[in-house]
Amino acid sequence: MNKEFEFVIGLEVHLQVKTESKMFCRCAADYFGQKPNSRVCPVCLGLPGALPVPNALAVKKCLSLCLATNCQINKISKFDRKNYFYPDLPKGYQISQYDLPLGENGFLEFDVDSDSRRVRIRRIHLEEDTGKSMHTNEETLLDFNKSGIPLIEIVTEPDFVDIEEVLAFAKRLRQTVRFLGISNADMEKGQMRYELNMSLRKVGSQKLPQYKVEVKNIGSISVLEKVIKYEFERQADILASGKLPTQETRGLRDLSGKTYSQRIKEDADDYRYFPEPDIPPMHFSDEYLEEIKSTICELPQARKHRYVFDYKLEPDTAEVLITSKVRSDWFEEAIEKIKDTALIKEIAKWLIKDVNAIIKEQKLKLSELKFTPKQFSQLVEMLYQKKLSGTLAKQVLAEMNSTGDEPEAIVNRKGLSIMADETELIKVIKTVFKDNANVVGDTKKNPNAAKFLLGQVMKATKGKADPAESARLIADLLSKE
């Protein structure tokens, strides 16, 4: 990458709101994968005379995002018409918000490595999604099931200066809206889309560049990353030759991140915004906003930091725990009432590694596991208190997941408790030494030989031998050989 220039990036994020019905009519919003044009009515088809009625739940969810991202709420807010022509927009305008969006001047905090960053949010408004065009060789087909799906638009200030920031922000925002239950933000279903606004400036310059390039309809975080890299090279080449890149809208050529010029960008004037005459302005009372505020759960960024400060978890571990609210809630249930941070760490480790392995292997959800978070933490506690070895704990965990029995009951039933008795262990170790006389002779030269012997002891006892105690006894006996 050219070292002379740095990024200036602002994002516009579109988010489909999770509601039963569409934004301005009562058509079902579960359009994905349904028969084309099976969820339409005069309102979302834009037929003359049809009257839009705003979806109160969509407004409420958008307000909760505004509050969660520290925006100021416009207590009087309204809808506006944004006029443009496109076949998938049957009314000839989109109902959106112009000068009085639901929220303005907020910010979102997120981490890049162990650094906290903050990006300002310029505005958050509510609008409606368009229909979908499908182009074949001969014709264009139109499906209006998506027309009128509630859509939140989040516009940031041009605060991003490197790729890592953009990607970390995109991920944290996605988690945040999922935690809030605003949207599933399923990228594969097009529920979260990005528009990248990007320009370059000389490193060290504080000024906003005189141009910006907009790339529309980026459907995934990985493509977003590729587009940023591609645009950096393209714009840097133009700047290096002494010219200014054209201010324009570019489209995605394919998923490789290459872009092409679509059109020289229109101004707000071109959209001839004016207030939507069919929908009266909305007024929000303080009580209503307080009520929404009280439903906002602890958000991923705050949770992560609490895990790091209160439980002394590594930031990376905490980050994995907050990937979803379900996982994070599951973890919290497991550690409820536990004060010992070393035990909490162990529980986090086992959740991330071993419980995850079961989930992946058996294609389960956390909620489908046969054991409860409490039973899981009991198991890890037994391990922590050295009543079980790691190998045994894994066996017990597998058994817990097939039977749903208490860990203690499984340990007793299968006689799985750990073997820590010195005389018993020495007996086993001596047999292992006898069977592996050549390895024993090797231990002076080969430091791995002792590990091999320990492995044999574990094998001979079916994982029941206390590993630390066995290792100590092996070293002790070897020194006497």
Does residue 58 bind Zn ion (CB under 5 A)? no
Among Zn ion, ligand ADP, none, the one that 158 touches (CB under a kind-dependent 5 to 8 A) is ligand ADP
- Apex 465 CA angle, 463 and 467, nearest 5: 95
Using CB under 6 A, pick the residue from 16, 19, 77, 156 that binds ligand ADP. 156
Site residue total, ligand ADP (CB under 6 A) = 17
Does residue 401 bind ligand ADP (CB under 6 A)? no
Q: Which residue is nearest to ligand ADP (CB)?
A: 10
Q: Which is nearer to ligand ADP, 9 or 308 (CB)?
A: 9
Q: Contacts with ligand ADP in 252-271 (CB under 6 A)?
A: 265, 268
Does residue 245 bind ligand ADP (CB under 6 A)? no
Does residue 44 bind Zn ion (CB under 5 A)? yes
150 bridge partner residues: 128
- For residue 465, give the amino acid letter: A
Distance CA 120, CA 112 (A): 16
Does residue 244 bind ligand ADP (CB under 6 A)? no
- For residue 259, give the amino acid letter: T
For the sheet with 115-128, list strands across it.
72-73, 103-112, 115-128, 150-156, 5-16, 192-202, 213-218, 248-252, 259-263
Minimum CB separation of residue 4 from ligand ADP in Å reads 17
Q: Which is nearer to ligand ADP, 198 or 418 (CB)?
A: 198
Minimum CB separation of residue 241 from Zn ion in Å reads 51
Does residue 101 bind ligand ADP (CB under 6 A)? no
Among Zn ion, ligand ADP, none, the one that 52 touches (CB under a kind-dependent 5 to 8 A) is none
Q: Which is nearer to Zn ion, 40 or 68 (CB)?
A: 40
Minimum CB separation of residue 132 from Zn ion in Å reads 15
Question: Nearest-CA neighbor of 177 among 64, 12, 290, 331?
Answer: 64
Minimum CB separation of residue 50 from Zn ion in Å reads 9
What is 388-441 written as a DSSP string? S-HHHHHHHHHHHHHH---HHHHHHHHT---B--HHHHHHHHHHHHHHTHHHHH
Q: Which stretch binds ligand ADP (CB under 6 A): 52-60, 77-85, 204-212, 443-451?
A: 204-212
* H helix or E strand, kind and range, residue 99: none
Using CB under 6 A, pick the residue from 199, 389, 391, 456 that binds ligand ADP. 199
Does residue 96 bind ligand ADP (CB under 6 A)? no
Pairing mode of beta strands 213-218, 248-252: parallel
Using CB under 5 A, pick the residue from 6, 36, 37, 41 that binds Zn ion. 41
10 to 29: interface string for ligand ADP, x by CB under 6 A: xxx-----------------
Minimum CB separation of residue 150 from Zn ion in Å reads 12
Alpha helices in 98-180 (DSSP H): 163-179
Using CB under 5 A, pick the residue from 8, 27, 95, 313 that binds Zn ion. 27
Using CB under 5 A, pick the residue from 8, 25, 58, 126 that binds Zn ion. 25
Does residue 157 bind ligand ADP (CB under 6 A)? yes
Q: Which is nearer to Zn ion, 25 or 170 (CB)?
A: 25
Does residue 197 bind ligand ADP (CB under 6 A)? yes
Q: Which is nearer to ligand ADP, 180 or 200 (CB)?
A: 200
Does residue 209 bind ligand ADP (CB under 6 A)? yes
Using CB under 6 A, pick the residue from 90, 158, 300, 407 that binds ligand ADP. 158
Q: Which stretch binds ligand ADP (CB under 6 A): 94-102, 103-111, 153-161, 278-286?
A: 153-161
226 bridge partner residues: none
Minimum CB separation of residue 42 from Zn ion in Å reads 7
- Label residue 163 exposed, middle or buried (CB < 10 Å: 0-12, 13-18, 19+): middle
Does residue 8 bind Zn ion (CB under 5 A)? no
77 bridge partner residues: 282
Phi first, then psi, for residue 106 (nearest 5°) are -110, -165
Strand boundaries in 148-300, DSSP class E = 150-156, 192-202, 213-218, 248-252, 259-263, 274-275, 282-283
CA distances 314 to 311, 318, 453, Å, are 9, 6, 33
Minimum CB separation of residue 86 from ligand ADP in Å reads 17
Q: Output the six-digit token pair for 360.
A: 């992946």
- For residue 383, give the amino acid letter: L
Contact 279, 79 (CB under 8 A): yes
Distance CA 100, CA 124 (A): 10
Q: Which is nearer to ligand ADP, 200 or 292 (CB)?
A: 200
Distance CA 355, CA 183 (A): 27
Does residue 6 bind ligand ADP (CB under 6 A)? no
Minimum CB separation of residue 21 from Zn ion in Å reads 8
Q: Three-class SS of residue 360?
A: helix
Among ligand ADP, Zn ion, none, the one that 370 touches (CB under a kind-dependent 5 to 8 A) is none
Contacts of 170 (CB under 8 A, 6+ apart): 11, 13, 194, 221, 224
Give the footprint of ligand ADP on this chain (CB under 6 A).
Answer: 8-12, 155-158, 197-199, 208-209, 212, 265, 268
Give the footprint of Zn ion on this chain (CB under 5 A).
Answer: 25, 27, 41, 43-44
